Structure formats: structure tokens, C-alpha cells
A = this chain, B = another copy of it.
């Protein structure tokens, strides 16, 4: 089982994924595996269900059978999981160090049965993929040993996208709240204590008033180029109506979320081509497992959102060593490019 080790100085967790261990000569960045070998079948395509572990969930056409064709969205366990459903957490010490087993969940959401969508995945298909994801989060919330589920998508080599290009997202259920989320929780709480308002609601207000960094709007959702964008063309999507849990999005709002995602990716692709990116969802941690206290105001002070991070520049030593980021494209310029490209087309 993969092992979670805690950096004793700053409390950062590292997954030592021994099952993926490689010998040093396998590490050449140049020799990365190509997408699919010739003649190799894509395990995420409709008809190739036998190439994946049995499905956890699927939206299926009437009459179709599990693990066969006839689905719209399919959720499967990861073939190479970093977090394992079975076993104990076994949080323990080793001298001054802390470690535990990587007890949790690692699932793959196959967004579409089609290997390639020339004009991007259609809105109705995105709606179904989001609904499947929401369903999985609601289910995973019942496992009290899971504290957080991180939903993310890696696309393209430069973004660690792996060899399978068929559109898919991942859900990582972790036994601790991730450090980055904890930092956001601490920041939003501090602001709430001071202002008695949600910081994200205030950001949305200022951005909508100012307009220079608003990329798109759709019903209850807005897409902005954040003021302190770390990456060129970084884009955040936020619900305008305050909500801390992404999986409590109202059913009638899901098509609006799908529409803004479609629009944003449409604009990004028109500007940047087939660009590598990471997309992540930041939502509040599950709160089933603990008593009130620290979490008392979380429903008022936290606000779920998505972050799309195009990987066009490389992160180097200065960023690693400092936590500073260097961004050569001001978000106002990025936003202007993204608006222009669709106006012109």
C-alpha cells in the first residue's frame, strides 16, 4: 500500500507510491511513453469496458448492462491507485517522523464514451459528467474515514496528463485535508472573522463591478482571470450564489456550470490551441467526522470554485524555493485575449 509521509517541518504530506517505483534508468524525461502504442485499444472508449476494472457507477442507456457499451459517463476505480479503499489508516510515528497508510479512494470519471470530440465535449455531455461527479462525492461523503475529495483533471504531457488522452477526470479521496485547502480555509476564516463576509463573494463583487478580469458568465456562474494569477491564462470558475460544497450544487444549476466550462475551454483553445492544463475543484472538506468548533463558520466563510491552470510556462527553482510565482501575462491581458478571440471568430 502506498505510504503517506509527513514533512516534519512544514507538515506537507508526500505519497511514497512504492507500487510505482522505478529504477533510475527509467527516469529519462525524454523517454516518456507515447499516448497509445499502435494497435493498442483505448480502455476508456465505449466497447473496451473489459480493459478497465469493473465500474463503480455509470449513466447508462435503458437496457444496457454494467461493464458493457451503452453508457454516457462511466466511473471506475483507478488501475494504479494512490489511495486504497481497504485497510487501516494506522497513523503512527517513526522516531520524530509521522506516517500513515494511504487509506482513501482513487476513482476515474470517464467524461465521454467518445475518444475525440473535435469541437470540445458538448454541453449536455459535460452536464452528465458533472452530475456523475456530484453523485460520487455524495457517496464518498458517507465514508467517515475520507476527509476530503479532490476532483481534478490533467491534460497534456506538460501537465502530467499521462498516456491516456481520452477525456477523464480523477477523484482522490484523502484521509487528511490537503495543505493547500487548509491554507484557503485559514485565509477565508480570517477574512470572515474580520469582515463577517465571505472573501470569495467579495472577490466576485469587485470583479463584476470592475469587469476587466471577467471572462464569461452563465446563470449562477462566473469565470474570472484571478488578480494574482500564478499562470498565464489561469481561470477560476465560481458560483455567484454562496455555497461551500461543490456537491451541493442545485440540480437545475448544473447545465449553467456545463455551459460556462464549455465557453471557457472554447475560448482557451481558440487562443492557445490544444494546450496542456490542470483543472482542480476546491470544495469544503467533509464535516461528518468531526464535531463543531473549527468548522462552525465554514458554511459561511468558504466558497467552492474551480481553478484551470494552463501549463505554458515552466515552474523552476525560484518558485519551488519561495512559493512566489512568476507570470509573464497580466490577467487583464489574458482576459482581453480570451474575449477577443471569440468576438473575432
Listed in ascending order, the chain A residues whose CB lies under 8 Å from chain B are 3, 5-18, 20-24, 27-29, 82, 94-97, 150, 152-154, 157-161, 170, 172, 174, 178-181, 183-184, 186-188, 191, 199-200, 202-203, 206, 210, 226-230, 232-233, 271-273, 275-276, 278-282, 307, 309, 311-318, 320-331, 333, 337
Residue contact A322 to B160, C-beta cutoff 8 Å? no
30 A-B pairs with CB atoms under 8 Å apart are A12-B230, A12-B323, A12-B325, A13-B228, A13-B324, A14-B324, A14-B326, A16-B330, A17-B328, A18-B330, A21-B329, A22-B329, A23-B337, A27-B272, A27-B275, A96-B206, A154-B317, A160-B313, A160-B315, A160-B316, A178-B322, A179-B323, A180-B320, A180-B321, A181-B322, A278-B321, A280-B321, A280-B322, A281-B321, A307-B320
Distance between Cα atoms of A210 and B311 in the complex (Å): 40
Q: What 9 A-B pairs have minimum CB-CB distances, sorted nearest first?
A: A160-B316, A280-B321, A278-B317, A179-B323, A178-B322, A152-B317, A180-B323, A160-B314, A20-B328
Residue contact A5 to B228, C-beta cutoff 8 Å? yes
Residue contact A24 to B272, C-beta cutoff 8 Å? yes
Asked whether A10 and B320 contact (CB < 8 A) given A18-B330, A327-B17, A329-B22, the answer is: no
CB of A184, distance to nearest CB on chain B (Å): 5
Residue contact A10 to B183, C-beta cutoff 8 Å? yes
Asked whether A97 and B227 contact (CB < 8 A) given A150-B322, A183-B10, A323-B179, the answer is: yes
CB of A80, distance to nearest CB on chain B (Å): 10
Distance between Cα atoms of A334 and B230 in the complex (Å): 32
Chain B residues lying within 8 Å of A9, measured Cβ to Cβ, are: 183-184, 187-188, 191, 199-200
A5-B227, A16-B330, A150-B318 are known; give 15 further A-B pairs, CB within 8 A.
A8-B191, A10-B184, A12-B324, A12-B325, A14-B229, A14-B325, A17-B327, A97-B206, A154-B317, A159-B317, A160-B314, A179-B322, A180-B323, A280-B317, A307-B320
Residue contact A170 to B318, C-beta cutoff 8 Å? yes
Distance between Cα atoms of A208 and B13 in the complex (Å): 23
Chain B residues lying within 8 Å of A206, measured Cβ to Cβ, are: 95-97
Residue contact A330 to B21, C-beta cutoff 8 Å? yes
Asked whether A11 and B325 contact (CB < 8 A) given A95-B210, A309-B320, A317-B279, the answer is: no
Distance between Cα atoms of A78 and B43 in the complex (Å): 49
Residue contact A178 to B95, C-beta cutoff 8 Å? no
Give the contacting residue for A321; candidates B21, B82, B152; CB below 8 A. B152
Asked whether A327 and B27 contact (CB < 8 A) given A314-B158, A318-B152, A322-B150, the answer is: no
Residue in chain B with minimal CB distance to A172: B318
Residue contact A324 to B174, C-beta cutoff 8 Å? yes
Residue in chain B with minimal CB distance to A177: B322
Residue contact B323 to A8, C-beta cutoff 8 Å? no
Chain B residues lying within 8 Å of A16, measured Cβ to Cβ, are: 229, 327, 330-331
Residue contact A15 to B320, C-beta cutoff 8 Å? no
Chain B residues lying within 8 Å of A273, measured Cβ to Cβ, are: 28
Residue contact A15 to B326, C-beta cutoff 8 Å? yes
Chain B residues lying within 8 Å of A279, measured Cβ to Cβ, are: 317
Chain B residues lying within 8 Å of A329, measured Cβ to Cβ, are: 21-22
